[in-house]
Structure 1
Amino acid sequence: MHIKLRLTVMNFLQFAVWGSYLTCIGNYLGAAGLGDHIAWFYSIQGVVSIFMPAILGIIADKYIPAEKLLGLSHALAGLFMLWAWFYGYSHPEGLSFAPFFTLYTLSVAFYMPTIALSNTVAFSILTRNGYDTIRDFPPIRVWGTVGFIAAMWFVNFAYITPGGWLGFSADAPDRFQYTAMQLLVCGILGLLLAFYCMTLPNCPVSKTVGKRSLSELFGLNAFALFKQRKMALFFIFSMLLGVSLQITNGFATPFITSFKGNPEFATTVGANNATALTSLSQISEALCILLIPFFLKRFGIKRVMLIAMLAWVLRFGFFGIGNPGGGLWMFVLSMLVYGVAFDFFNVSGALFVEKETDSSIQGAAQGLFMLMTNGIGATVGTLAAGAVVNHFCKWTEVMTPEGPASFLLGDWQATWLIFAAYALLVAVVFAVVFKYKHVPEAIGTVKH
């Protein structure tokens, strides 16, 4: 099989594993009695992202070839997720938080580092085979987003028929997006990817890592960038905007599904297909990546990041005023602006770090950027969002034509508008405080 095709398959499966549960596990947790703890299940991704990628990165650099470590990590993540599925399957009456959360955490702890590790594998294999990573990697990586979307669609429509066969429906009450079966899908895909990774070309360990200090290995040397006012402000605002990153991943599908508890919207396509509807966000994300070079050259990093912040305002605001009936178009707009909100911040921020930092610490600086956004920011934001949601909304059992079901009902409009107000406040302060002069020629030299 051609090298680029093999890496395409790897990326497809890498993100299909994540897409099988990331946006819909909230629905299952609510039905299983753990709805009040949704924020913890999403914040743990940020917690493990603080230290696990660095640890596995050191191991891949010095001890175990990256492709083998990638396979081992996916094997462990898949096995723990299958164990979590079996626990959920064995306890249909409801889950106990401690054992289920422990199994989930162990799976996530081994999965999250594979996001960076899979990039390392791809870069190493492409480089060793004479390819240009700047030109050849993006078309490979975009298939990761395709895999994420494909997994979302699968769990949205798939269910087990009374005869024990796999069926697909747009309104079956026991589709995978509502049950522990989404974890089974995740675990199986993870094990499949683990075996596949073991067949990839070898990525030799580095012979020079031992000459680096412990602080360099863990990327601590990048914290020296806080001595520069511009970089300090950039990382602080990265953390503040990172607060928004996981909010809709955690609560969008329980919110949209909650309309099934309202007779006016119970039978609408939107309320019954929350996971498929939110997949529009990932489609938008894939398309918006293509707009970044133009916007960076035309408007500069400050305005592009400001556009991202304002897009988060719209992302939350459209949720606050929309519904899956006549207001479905507002939900669709919320999904479409997500690509701008996510990509214009994450990708442009990474390019800014690359441009403004010395090559000797760029790897550590990128790690610090991820720490501030997906680590600290996303963790704090998800826990804070969970507190807001639990204040305004409660899991309530409602009688439906299929029988009793639990939905997260309450004042969702106030909840989303609070999130929108927060994003607007961050945007206003950023516009006033962050000083950066746009030089078109300089931005044009950034590698895309």
Structure 2
Amino acid sequence: MNTKVRTQLSVMMFLEFFIWGSWFVTMGTFLGNNIGASSGQTAMAFSTQSWGAILAPFVIGLIADRYFNAERILGILHLLGAALLYLMYCSSSFDVFYPYVLGYMILFMPTLALVNSVAFNQMKDPTKEFSFVRVFGTLGWIVAGLIISYAFHWDSPSGISEGMLKNTYLMAAISSAILGVFSFTLPKNPPKVDTSKKVSFSQMLGLDALKLLGDKNFLVFFVSSILICIPLAFYYQNANPFLVEVGLQNPTGMMTIGQISEILFMLLLPYFFKKFGFKNTILIAMLAWTLRYFLFAYGNAGEFTFLLILGIGLHGICYDFFFVSGQIYTDSKAGETYKSAAQGLITLATYGIGMLIGFWVAGKITDMYLNVDGSHGWDTIWIYPAGFAFLVFLLFAVLFKNEKIAYKS
């Protein structure tokens, strides 16, 4: 892969996750503080990510893989997304905002697979080359958070009270338009499926990967993946509003500590994987989720600020040790026949089913502990996902049988 192509792919990844990080992190705070949405309505808005993940295989399997170049579809989706992000920027009520965010996430979630597809198609050895391109995506998310908190102060108390958080959607809209245009300059990625050959509907959607559920260990992992995403949804939906409410300075910028730790633990993952094995690595991730929520329950923006920082910093272990390890495990179980379909199946289980349930549960529990003055009983709210993550830990520890998985570094 030459320098020009590597640079193009790195810019693509940077913009892809810069766009997502520009508005998704602060959406809960924006909805609650600026357009008067309830926790239940906020849960509905976050669950659009799950609906997008559920519908993504239709876009990829029926369109991208069969009829049009991946980079062209990527460009069109981001140009349409830019228009919807601008409409979200102009929204002043939840009833107006919700259809736009739903439409946007249905367009955006397929692009996560498309950018990977575009990158993989240009690489001779993705196991060695992909991580050096993908890391720019994490950097894009970090930069977005730093800009919101430290450059424009949109998430400061005065910024929130003045309604400046809506500017995050404008920033995302401009970035999406840039990536939309830039996508048409990317290397060509024509469809590889021979449309003259008869293929079943289930094959197009990757449903053949469901055969993997016949393996007891994979079934335990699949169910655990759904269940662990229920407490994960609490973080995505509630972390920023929680940090704002307790008075942590520059909350969005502080949350980028999680992405910085993600880079660190991505580098440490091969060591843990080889030293402790797949099962123990997954169990470490589940315990980290439990610990994170206990730290949030007992932390504050005063003398126990360090507990909040530690909780945010555990994101690298929570995300990398579970999701990346899970992708490696899934790849090893699937073999050559179902590689892509199997990864899509796990994405459907986690970002789709698991988080869809999780966002609904998080909204219900958050509303249960809403005080009359508009504040929340966060110390109690965070105990729920902590306890649930620990139950999933016990389930996986008992039911999953140890097996050796080859890790390609």
The TM tier, using the shorter chain, reads: over 0.9
**Deviation per CA, 1:390-413, whole angstroms, max 9, x where unpaired?**
1012584xxxxxxxxxxx512110
Asked if the contact 1:35–1:395 (Cα under 8 Å) also holds between the matched residues in 2, the reply is no
Taking the aligned partners of 2:64 and 2:279, their CA distance within structure 1 comes to 35
Please, which of 179, 184, 197 is the counterpart of residue 198 of structure 1? 184
Distance 1:353 1:85 in 2: 39
Q: Tell me which amino acid in the other structure corresponds to 2:333.
A: E
Q: Once structures 1 and 2 are overlaid, which stretch shifts more, 250-259 or 173-182? A: 173-182
Separation in structure 2 between the aligned mates of residue 247 and residue 74 of structure 1, nearest angstrom: 28
**Where does residue 120 of structure 2 map in the other structure?**
123
Residue correspondence of structure 1 range 308-323 to structure 2 within 5 A? 308-323=285-300
Q: Which runs of 4+ in 1 moved over 6 A?
A: none
1:45 to 42, 49, 57: 49
Deviation at 1:244, TM superposition (A): 2.5
What is the aligned partner in structure 1 of residue 279 from structure 2?
302
SS of match in other structure, 2:401: coil
Contact residue 314 and residue 420 of structure 1 kept, 8 A: yes
Q: Residues 30-429 of structure 1: matches in 2 within 5 Å?
A: 30-31=32-33, 32-36=35-39, 37-88=41-92, 95=93, 97-124=94-121, 126-127=122-123, 131-159=124-152, 171=156, 173-174=158-159, 179-209=165-195, 210-260=197-247, 271-394=248-371, 396=373, 409-429=375-395
SS in 1 for 2:314: helix
**Is the 2:148–2:154 contact (alpha carbons within 8 Å) kept by the matching residues of 1?**
no
* Structure 1 unmatched runs, 5+: 89-94, 160-167, 261-270, 397-407
CA deviations over 1:188-231 (Å, ceiling 9, x no partner): 11011100001112111224254432111101111122222122
Instruction: Measure, in 1, the Cα distance between the counterparts of 2:83 and 2:136.
Output: 25
Which one of 433, 436, 441 corresponds to residue 399 of structure 2?
433
- The structure that is strand-richer by fraction is 1
- What percentage of residue pairs aligned between the two structures are identical? 33
Match of 2:12 among 10, 13, 25: 10
> Separation in 1 of the partners of 2:129 and 2:342?
24
Distance 2:394 2:347 in 1: 23
CA offsets, 1:367-425, max 9 Å, x none? 111111111001101110111111012584xxxxxxxxxxx512110110121011111
Kept in 2, the 8 Å contact 1:25–1:178? The answer is no
Q: Return 5+ residue gaps in structure 2 as ranges.
A: none
**How far apart are the structure 1 equivalents of 2:24 and 2:114?**
19
Deviations 1:42-64 (A, max 9, x none): 11101220122432343111111
Per-residue deviation, 1:447: 2.6
SS in 2 for 1:180: helix
CA distance in 2, matches of 1:332, 1:230: 35
The structure with the largest alpha-carbon Rg is 1
Alpha-carbon shift at residue 35 of structure 1 (Å):
3.5
**Aligned 8 A contact 2:230 2:355 in 1:** yes
Q: Number of aligned residue pairs: give it.
A: 403
